[in-house]
Amino acid sequence: MDHHQVKVKTVIDFSHFEIGETITGSVYISEPETFNAELDLHVVKRSVMKEDEVLDTLSLNPIGDNISKEIRKIPFMIVPDDRWEIEDDERLFIQTINRGIQKVIQEVEIMYG
């Protein structure tokens, strides 16, 4: 999704994880030399009947590996715990957040369990 002219894309290595598996992926930032926002990843549990519940937060270090002059890759790992177990009417998402303005930049659904 665009952040001004910069694009931020979160890619989860797999969309389905079994209990005990670590969630891995990367955040890709285009034009990294112009991007200065601080990013967080939130693991969010969503239900039709309740407000979203943030289960986990991971602050991303803006100093990632540049794939090229145009793209920076910031790899991440999140270790799930028992709060991630969901009921039939619940879903899990990983949200990429611009910490400074508390805005969701991207949201990716994951299956856990």
Q: Does 73 score more than 90 pLDDT?
A: no
Mean pLDDT of 11-15: 90
Instruction: Please give the pLDDT value at position 93.
Output: 95
Q: What is the pLDDT of residues 25-71, one digit of tens each?
A: 999 888 766 677 789 999 999 998 889 999 999 998 766 566 677 78
Mean pLDDT of 95-99: 91
Mean pLDDT of 8-26: 89
Cα-Cα end-to-end distance for the chain: 28
- What CATH number does residue 78 fall under? 2.60.40.640
Tell me the residue range of the domain where 11 lies.
2-112
For 69, the token pair is: 């002059």
Number of domains composing the chain: 1
